[in-house]
Structure 1
Amino acid sequence: MDAFAEGAAPQAPRRAEVPEPRTAPAGGGAPPATVPAARHGGKGRAFTGVAAAAVTTVLAVVVAGQVADGRAEGESRAQAAGGALPPAAQAVPSSAPSAVPLTYAQKMGRLYPLGATLKGSGEFDTVPGSAKAPGKGPKMTYRVDVEQGLGLDGALFADAVQRTLNDDRSWAHGGQRTFERVSTGKPDFVITLASPGTTAEWCAKSGLDTTEDNVSCDSAATERVMINAYRWAQGSVTYGDAKIHAYRQMLINHEVGHRLGHGHVTCQKDGAIAPVMQQQTKFLDHDGIHCLPNAWPYPKS
């Protein structure tokens, strides 16, 4: 793996439908008083009209009351059964909660889709902006480039590089140095996230073959420290899915370690942690010795 090979109210009834004098009105009430025959002339008709109007009024009140009672009863039943009220009964419409953005740690703890044999365009975009060096030691500047079309979060990658390198467990340990990300000018090196195919091309410029184990490298003859996007997205068997965050930190520290002049080493005691400069993408065990995964140059800090 390296340079050294790493989201309506009811209508009133019509007059023609006024009940006969001895018919009880709706609702079971007493029948109206007997209406005199039509021989009474105008007075009889007027009296009949008054009675009809009274009956109509009673009917309207009864019907309206039944409608209201039915609606209230239906709402009570719906509420008792846990059902939703009709729209008119809902004072305030509910709204779906907004999505909560993932934290840095949550993003770093996820795997992302990317093919092991992907060959990208070879064209790079520089992640915009900058990140000031937080330490007081000698400053090293770097730029972050991401190959176009990978579908990966370039800003997350850049954030990971800055956080990792300036951690006291990393190469900034004890004020030895501090790292600053820039997007303009000429930096000390360019840490580059690229497809496996493009990574292989740039590593070959420094005489390194990354194709056999699909690893990363420090292309020392160029300005680029190459991070294989397949490994960044999918991790390795040696670390497993659960430790993808730590694996990504190891990738950054290992390849930048080469840029700083460090070569490969291995752990020398069974059960000891692997040095960050061990080729941990490829192996943790060697010569009967079992090494534990480790992402940091100074893990006990």
Structure 2
Amino acid sequence: MGRHSRKGPEAKGRDAGTAGAERAPGVPQPGTGRRGRDARPAAGDGQGPFRDAPRVRGGHPEQREPGGGWGTGPQPVRDGRQDVSGPAAHEAFRVRQAVARQQAAQRAAGRTQPRRTGDAPLIPGPRQEFLEAFDTTPSRPAPPAPPVAAAGSPADDGGSDGAPGGGSARVKGGKGRAFTGVAAAAVTTVLAVVVAGQVADGPGRGGGTSPSAGVDRQDSEDASRSVDRPTPPAGRPEVKTMSYAARMAMPFPLAPDLKASGKFEAVPGLAKAPGKGHKYRYRIDVEQGLGLDAGLFAEAVQKTLNDDRSWAHGGAMTFERVSSGEPDFVITLASPGTTGVWCEKSGLDTTEDNVSCDSAATDRVMINAYRWAQGASTFGPDKLLPYRQMLINHEVGHRLGHNHVSCRTPGALAPVMQQQTKTLDLDGIKCRPNPWVFPGG
């Protein structure tokens, strides 16, 4: 058998004395088990630990004051209006007084419109239906309230037995809802009056200042919005681009012992041959990492080779730059170190004077980037444009089958196939620098 199903011992002592007592109708008697020890009369018998205390429900006396914790009962009607008391009624009375004082002040000042602060209207006062909720007489008189019964009497049961058909319950429930609505309206009105007063006071009384209260953004002390800020020009200043001749006359920084990546990149695009003679197709490769203008180099090659003073003189030939396919040769702009590597493949040593070459064993015409960037002392720093033209014509001339030629007349223009980078004075004959094959055109 389970623990809770065992029978306890027979009642003894005080429990035995109550075992044979006659049970009062509806009053539970204490048991004889462990749970029945020191049993006290149930709360429903009207007797508590103190036998002289009045009979109560739920362990504490009910509150029957109007507006108490159990709600207000029916209230007497005086002069056709209900006599209301309690916190909600006091709050409603205070609200009515505040509204009356506000309306009297407005009438005395002759103001019929709500005051405005700047461009923002104030919050209006209490709505008319809220005022009518306090001042108007109910549409039908409430039935007279029954006399307040003493505590513990049948009339104080709080149920619907006080009037036939549950009349008291209907009056009680209807008035409770009415008082709840009145309290809500009172709270709303108080909030409206308080907010309206704060708005009417304006920013002059408060510590804060509205950013739109008479502040002109243009007069702000912010430097980024100062009225003294100069007006930007109507259009952007025109950026002047340098001409081809000006760029070709500029030197570029490049070390004489530089050896770059050794990797080449073709200059994209197509420059069609302008002449009608024999067409040579060439590609331009520029070594990566030089930091030179590949576009300027490509433009210089195309213009120089197709000039009438160059190899294209008299329409004998024409040159076309391509970036794909199989060209006749590749004009390559490379660092001094890479130029030496490719020239050595054709048995040429360019490292002694840091010069360029036509690597005949390969398809590359090597242009030493140091010479392209810095020029040569034979031409001087003020003749970079003609030196670069000579450099192109001389190395391509080797690819076309021409060998070196020396100057024979003192003071004359040096032949384009003379090694003008090294010297203009051969065997005591000093000539002048010359970039063209046919300098007279």
Query: TM-score, normalising length from structure 2?
Result: 0.48
User: 1:232 is matched by which residue type in structure 2?
Assistant: W
Corresponding residue of 1:121:
261
User: 1:150 is matched by which residue type in structure 2?
Assistant: L
Change (3 A) 1:146 1:89: same
Structure 1 residue 89: Cα displacement: 5.3
Corresponding residue of 2:342:
202
Deviations 1:95-148 (A, max 9, x none): 762431111111101000000000011100000001000001010000000000
Corresponding residue of 1:58:
none
Structure 1 residue 90: Cα displacement: 6.3
Structure 1 residue 92: Cα displacement: 3.1
Deviations 1:174-214 (A, max 9, x none): 01100000000000000000000000000000000000000
List, as ranges, runs of 4+ consecutive aligned residues in structure 1 with deviation greater than 2 Å: 86-99
2:378 counterpart (227, 233, 238): 238
Residue 211 (structure 1) aligned with residue 351 (structure 2): yes
Change (3 A) 1:99 1:87: farther
User: 1:160 is matched by which residue type in structure 2?
Assistant: A
Task: For residue 296 of structure 2, give the secondary structure of its aligned residue in structure 1.
Answer: helix
2:420 counterpart (264, 280, 285): 280
Corresponding residue of 1:262:
402
Residue 188 (structure 1) aligned with residue 354 (structure 2): no
Rg larger for:
2
User: 1:190 is matched by which residue type in structure 2?
Assistant: V
Corresponding residue of 1:253:
393
Corresponding residue of 1:88:
227
User: 1:93 is matched by which residue type in structure 2?
Assistant: P
Corresponding residue of 2:362:
222
2:284 counterpart (144, 158, 177): 144
* C-alpha distance in 1 between matches for 2:327 and 2:309: 23
* C-alpha distance in 2 between matches for 1:268 and 1:91: 68
Change (3 A) 1:116 1:91: closer
* C-alpha distance in 2 between matches for 1:87 and 1:173: 66
* C-alpha distance in 2 between matches for 1:122 and 1:159: 23
Corresponding residue of 1:155:
295
Task: For residue 281 of structure 2, give the secondary structure of its aligned residue in structure 1.
Answer: strand
* C-alpha distance in 2 between matches for 1:135 and 1:198: 33
Gaps of 5+ in 2: 1-224
Query: TM-score, normalising length from structure 1?
Result: 0.70
* C-alpha distance in 1 between matches for 2:292 and 2:402: 29
Task: For residue 421 of structure 2, give the secondary structure of its aligned residue in structure 1.
Answer: coil
Corresponding residue of 1:130:
270
Deviations 1:207-252 (A, max 9, x none): 0000000000000010000000000000000001100000000000
* C-alpha distance in 1 between matches for 2:229 and 2:293: 42
Q: How many residues align?
A: 216
Corresponding residue of 1:28:
none
Deviations 1:136-163 (A, max 9, x none): 1010000000000000000100000000
Structure 1 residue 87: Cα displacement: 5.5
Task: For residue 88 of structure 1, give the secondary structure of its aligned residue in structure 2.
Answer: coil
Identity, in percent, stands at 68
* C-alpha distance in 2 between matches for 1:208 and 1:221: 10
Corresponding residue of 1:109:
249
Residue 165 (structure 1) aligned with residue 296 (structure 2): no
Task: For residue 271 of structure 2, give the secondary structure of its aligned residue in structure 1.
Answer: coil
* C-alpha distance in 1 between matches for 2:414 and 2:378: 12
User: 2:231 is matched by which residue type in structure 1?
Assistant: V
* C-alpha distance in 2 between matches for 1:141 and 1:98: 38
By relative contact order (CA 8 Å, sep 6+), the higher-ranking structure is: 1
* C-alpha distance in 1 between matches for 2:230 and 2:420: 61
* C-alpha distance in 1 between matches for 2:368 and 2:226: 55
Task: For residue 227 of structure 2, give the secondary structure of its aligned residue in structure 1.
Answer: helix
Residue 294 (structure 1) aligned with residue 416 (structure 2): no
User: 2:329 is matched by which residue type in structure 1?
Assistant: F
* C-alpha distance in 2 between matches for 1:87 and 1:234: 51
